[in-house]
Amino acid sequence: MFARYILERLAIFAATVFVSITIVFFMPRLVPGDPLGAVMSRLSSVGGSMSGQELIQEYRRRFGLDKSLMEQYFSFLSQLARGDLGYSILSFPSRVTDLIANAVPWTIGLLSLTTIISWVLGTLVGAIVGWTGGRNRFSQILVPLALLLYTTPYYILAIILIYLFAFYWPIFPLSGAYEFGARPDFSLDFITDVIHHGTLPALSIVLVSLGWWFLSMRSLIIAEQGADYIMWAEAKGLKSRRIFWAYAFRNALLPQATGLALSFAHVIGGALITEAIFAYPGIGFLIYNSIKGSDFPVIQGSVLLIIVSVAVANFAMDMIYPLIDPRIRTGSMR
């Protein structure tokens, strides 16, 4: 029955989240690195009333690092059940939830916008090029260009853009999300400043994503051209433009829409390397700095947020698919 399908997906969702939580807890602790090293260096530079060993012991006690690994694990699960992600080691006394809350809006703003722009442009241009069959020189140039963009790592493209438009032609700033010392608000000056700083990281993501959406939609349209309903529409004497928009494009758009939904599931994860290159204060940059400093609580909280976001999005898609395709409902009842 359909209820069984829902229960199966719920079980998979719960198992995925639990296993991921366990991996996220143990992995940072199994890699070399002392989370208290950076703290001690910072405290020693400003001086303190306690000796080095006393400070280390106090921090170990405060963050539970003096307990065994399994004791830390069960303590972490207990805190997580209460919705408490704890305090950051590097930014103490800042709470992990506050650091994540400050970083997430920047990531969502950057990646949501770039995902939509690249999807719309890639889908439209790819559909037109696929329908025309590359019969003009412009289309023949776009295909190898899209292949080049798709196969280029976005961080390499980011470095190229920095060299061209922040160093050689200093049009855009090198890093950051706004000018140093600026106070975030919703004024026109601040919004303009944010757009100015976010252009290069956004462009690096858009160009790479654009190549994939273009090639994907072009392939889908080419596949639709050989379908029986297209030949039937042509035999009826319908105009090519109407066949394209009313038939081929609409059918080819379904897989693209699914891909867009799955892309949004990964938006919360940020573009770690791009944000690190541009020092953009999103969730990816937060994870990057936390990994460098072995800040276990921030790593756990940030990655956990990403895992839950992706798992929830996949679960939502599993619930929506049976409503779209009755074959899934039929198959789940056998």
pLDDT tens-digit readout, 279-289:
888 888 888 88
Q: What local confidence, expressed as pLDDT, does residue 53 receive?
A: 65
| In the chain, alpha helices (H) | 2-30, 35-46, 52-62, 69-81, 96-132, 137-151, 154-162, 188-225, 228-235, 240-243, 249-265, 272-277, 283-292, 296-324, 326-332
pLDDT digits (tens, 9 = 90+) for 118-138: 899 988 888 888 878 766 677
Per-residue pLDDT reduced to its tens digit, 188-207 = 888 888 888 888 888 888 88
For 115, the 3-state DSSP assignment is helix
Residues with Cβ within 8 Å of 258's Cβ and at least 6 positions away in sequence, in order, are 317
> For the residues 132-148, what does the mean pLDDT come to?
76
pLDDT value of residue 43: 59
- Map out the domains of the chain as residue ranges: 1-90+295-334, 97-292
CATH tag, 97-292: 1.10.3720.10
pTM, rounded to two decimals: 0.73
